[in-house]
Structure 1
Amino acid sequence: MPMLQPRTVIASFTLLALGAALLLWARDSALPWVVLGLLLGLGLQSRPSQSNSASAILEHLGAGMLLINGCNRIEWVNPMGCRLWRTSSDCLLGQPLPSSAIELDSLIESVRKQPHTIHIGEFALPENRIGRAVATALPTKSVISVILLIEDISVSKAMDRLKTDFMTSVSHELRTPLTSVLGFTKVVRKKLEETLLPKLTDDNDPKSRKTIGQVRENLLVVQQESQRLTEIVNTVLDLMNLESGQVVWRQEQVAITEVLTAALAEAQSLFAAKELSITLDLDPSLPKITGDPIRLQQLCWHLLTNAAKFTEQGGLTCTASLNRDSQHPKVLLQFRDTGIGIAASEHSVIFEKFRQLGDVLTNKPKGLGLGLPISLAIVKHHGGELWVDSDLGEGSTFFVSLPITGSELVQG
């Protein structure tokens, strides 16, 4: 292993590798912090014995590690890497990555294009297993070598599929009886209001009038809660279908301003109930984009209702404009509210499933925290981006960037 002999290379190797390791394990284990402390103490020292100790740690690291040179060949691999590939180091060293892991080629290319960024991706391992790789650059004088830290995530993927299947099954089982409860409740309310209650209200007995009022309120609660549960079940099923790829996407020319206006009409009552203002700044000359109008309207609806939930005073400003800053012009949507805002540490968390900012509030809005994950899935399918700019107590702005092709731009 000639590349491990110079102490400066060991220092760079260990530190960059552990940066990747932290990303790989940070949520699951305290191990990276232990290893980081060891390597910081060993990899930066000048004595050969300590460099050898750092090398020993890399050799026994609980994740596969490979060094890919400038010719895209494996220059070094640790024992765990060999075990993950189900082969020996003699079969890997000096060879390109196995052809089954073609996803790693694009990951390595991304590292070379953006060497200051750590890249994460999934790839195929032997025996129908799934691997996850964290890739980072190791600059040298002439070329950029790439460190790959890999692990087998087949078990966790299988557990995710099992969980998804279970939630989908339960949601389907709940939807049918909930639909019946909601339908019969509406029928009972209508019959009572039209036939029975008018006769009973002729009775001047205060107790009877009070009982009638309670019956009306209770039936209304049953209907409202049944409706809410039905919406929750439908939302869960929607997300499961999006994640499993079972959604049939339409491809049409879509006027994004029309989609946004339609979504606003659906969400209008939420803003009216809290007396929140809505300001629109929509560029009427925006070109159409190619996409699914129903899903894009759903995206706008989720972002609008999200703003209404977390805003008590003020209102929302919606902007639709053409962003020409990049090489490929894009439609840019902005949803700016005057709500409670989001701490910087929560910006990435809110896009995760079942995570809601209200978890830390005493008055958490109703919901499962699935609106933003669904929105993110819709945006990604359309080749766009979704992000937030916010500070706690200063409102939030959600940005949606959707690509436009050259032909559509000319037509616009």
Structure 2
Amino acid sequence: MTQTAYSNELRADTATILIPLIAGVTALATLMGALAFESFSLSWHLWLGTGLTLVAGGVGRHFLKQNREVAGTVIFTAAHLLIFYLIILKNWSPGSMFPYLFAVLIIASSMFTQPDSGFITWGIASFLTALGVSQHITGSMSLAQHIAGPIIVNLFVAAAAYFSALEWQVAVESVSQLHIKAQHRRDELFTIQEELRRTNAKLINVNKALEKARETAVAERDLRTRFMNQVSHELRTPINSIVNFAHILSQGQLGEVTSRQIDYLNRIEKSGWHSMSVLNDLLDLAQMNAGEFRLRRQRVDLEAVCEEAMASVRSLLENEDVDLIRDYPEVWPEVMVDPKRFQQALLNLLSNAAKYTDKGHIKLRVRTHQHTATFAVEDTGIGIPEEHYDTVFQEFRQLDETIARKRIGTGLGLPISRHLIEQHGGTLTVHSVVEQGSTFTITLPLADNEEAEEEETPPKRLKMTAVAPEESI
């Protein structure tokens, strides 16, 4: 609804109330006046006025109900102008108040239609006043003296009605504008509410689907973990037996064996240990994914841990033209680690370097910084393209399958190492140049002097970031 339409509606409501009221009062007044006269010839105009005001009131209301406000109010006003004119014509006398009755119609006109309608009604009323009074007085000067007062008073009434109606119209239009804005805002809020309701319904469905998927994933994860645990335990016993019996036979404890037999037994033993290592990696991975992997961090002798890892990888380089270099600090840093798991991560990096380095060197460099300690494994192997830095930390992924088939591996060493290091609160990063070598750097926070000697750390998810290598020494 526009502001003008709202103003017109309020004017129509006002007319609906005032028209019956004015018609009733006028009918009652003219009826009482008519009854005061004994002769019909003296009161016919009052009887006419009584009937005319009732008819005009009825016709006006009828038009108002049909939303024809202008026609209804014009007919009603015109009829009463005629009634008041007849009263002046028949009953006016010097000093009579009848001309002032037009003020009621002037005010009503300003309220029924536009504010300036009162001036139109005033003009017609002034003409009818002059016409009616002129029938009782001769001489223009005398006529002017008798009608000047009512005409001027009615003019002031018209002006007052105009400004009042205009102020009322401005106020109504302001309220209408606020009402329209509030209505639009309400519609917007309703639309937003409906959108939120639909979005909520979608979110509920999505949450249900996610919860169902989560439950399915948890069930599958638990099943996979139980399966890996079961398979691991079922395979460990026969593999241990095979490895141990092969070792006993190769030592000649059950009789003399030939060099060819010793070679075969050593191969069996080596393959058995590799199978055991694969089982251990798979079991660790299953426990990590299930959230069952825990660390017991403590202060350890880092030099001893590093030396044990270096000694383990030395056997992989016995027949290779690769130097194993130590670059240790004079004062070792103090960090809180799980010695077994930290050594596992370090050994994975060293073994990976040995696997892909045919000549040159493998260096373990340890450094202490202000708040961290770094353990860098540097090699002169085949290198890794920069766009594959992330790939090497993905499970069961190897960059070159042809090269990978020549070197025993599952693609689990680096992902497991990264998980172990990040669970220690550190990072594992890589920098590499193809055909020149790679550097994998473990960064761990230094131990706080007040930190507990042993604490259990829950598992954490891992993020890989690449950094520049430290300078070789």
Shorter-chain TM range is 0.5 to 0.7
Deviation at 1:276, TM superposition (A): 0.9
Q: Say whether residues 1:407 and 2:407 are aligned partners.
A: no
Give the aligned partner of residue 115 of structure 1.
Answer: none
Who is 1:185 aligned against? Answer: 246
What's the offset of the Cα at 1:367? 1.5
2:329 & 2:198 partners in 1: Cα distance?
56
Q: How far is 1:239 from its partner?
A: 2.5
Measure, in 2, the Cα distance between the counterparts of 1:294 and 1:164.
22
2: CA distance, partners of 1:335 / 1:244: 30
Q: Residues 224 and 407 (structure 1 numbering): CA distance in 2 closer, same or farther, change over 3 Å?
A: closer
Give the aligned partner of residue 204 of structure 2. Answer: 86
Residue 275 of structure 1 deviates from its aligned partner by 2.8
**Distance 1:77-1:230 versus aligned 2 partners, 3 A rule:** farther
Q: Secondary structure at the match of 1:251?
A: strand
| CA distance in structure 2 between the partners assigned to 1:81 and 1:183 by the alignment | 64
How has the CA–CA distance of structure 1 residues 351 and 225 changed in structure 2, closer, same or farther, with 3 Å as cutoff? same
Does residue 267 (structure 1) correspond to residue 313 (structure 2)? The answer is: yes
More helix by share: 2
Number of matched pairs: 260
2:302 to 253, 256, 260: 256
SS at 1:273 equivalent: coil
- 1:166 maps onto 2:208 in alignment: no
The answer to whether residue 375 in structure 2 is matched with residue 333 in structure 1 is yes
What stretches of structure 1 of length at least 5 have no aligned partner? 1-73, 88-124, 132-151, 199-211
Aligned to 1:387: 429
**Corresponding residue number in structure 2 for 1:145:** none
2:418 to 371, 376, 395: 376
Q: 1:42-92 deviations in whole A, cap 9, x for unaligned?
A: xxxxxxxxxxxxxxxxxxxxxxxxxxxxxxxx99989996456417xxxxx
How far residue 348 of structure 1 moved from its aligned partner, in angstroms, is 0.8
Amino acid at match of 1:260: C
Counterpart of 1:322 (choices 349, 352, 368) is 368
Shift of 1:166: 2.7
After superposition, what is the alpha-carbon deviation per residue over 1:289-319, rounded to whole angstroms, capped at 9, x for unaligned? 1121111111111111111001001011221
Q: Equivalents in 1 of 2:211, 2:332: separation in Å?
A: 42
Deviation of residue 170 (structure 1)?
Answer: 2.0
Alpha carbons of structure 1 residues 224 and 155: separation in structure 2 relative to 1, 3 Å: same
What is the CA deviation profile of residues 110-143 of structure 1, one whole-angstrom value per residue up to 9, with x for unaligned ones? Answer: xxxxxxxxxxxxxxx8569559xxxxxxxxxxxx
1:278–1:315: 8 Å Cα contact kept in structure 2?
A: yes
How far apart, CA to CA, are the structure 2 residues paired with 1:333 and 1:182? Answer: 33
Distance (Å, rounded) in 2 between the aligned partners of 1:405 and 1:80 = 53
Pair 1:352-2:413 in alignment: no
Residue 408 of structure 1: CA displacement? 7.0
How many Å separate the matches in 2 of 1:215 and 1:249?
42
**More strand by percentage:** 1
Amino acid at match of 2:390: S
Per the alignment, residue 276 of structure 2 pairs with: 230
Alignment of 1:35-50 (within 5 A): none
Partner residue, 2:287: 241
CA distance in 2, matches of 1:79, 1:367: 54
| Aligned partner (choices 258, 262, 268) of residue 216 of structure 1 | 262
Contact 2:250 2:261 in 1 (8 A): no
1:156 deviates by 4.6
CA contact (8 A) 2:327 2:365 kept: yes
- Distance (Å, rounded) in 2 between the aligned partners of 1:230 and 1:76: 61
Q: Percent identity?
A: 30
Summarize the Cα distance change of 1:79–1:310 in structure 2 as closer, same or farther, 3 Å threshold. farther
Distance 1:213 1:251 in 2: 46
Aligned equivalent of 2:132: none
Q: What is the CA–CA distance in structure 2 between the aligned matches of 1:167 and 1:176, rounded to whole Å?
A: 15
Report the RMSD for the aligned CA atoms in angstroms: 3.3
SS class of match (1:197): coil
TM-score normalised to the size of structure 2? 0.49
Q: TM-score, normalised by structure 1?
A: 0.55
**Alpha-carbon separation, structure 2, partners of 1:275 and 1:157:** 48
Q: 1:398 to 1:80 in 2, by over 3 A?
A: farther
Which one has a bigger Cα radius of gyration? 2
Partner of 1:40: none
The 10-residue stretch of structure 1 (340-349 or 264-273) with the greater mean CA deviation from structure 2 = 264-273
Report deviation, 1:350: 1.2
CA spacing shift, 1:155–1:401, aligned 2, 3 Å: same
SS in 2 for 1:355: coil
Unaligned runs of 5+ in 2: 1-191, 452-473
Query: Which digits, 9 at most, give the CA deviation of each residue in 1:364-386, with x for residues without a partner?
Result: 31011111111111111111011
Correspondence list, 1:43-192, <5 A = 82=200, 85-86=203-204, 129=210, 155-156=216-217, 158-190=219-251
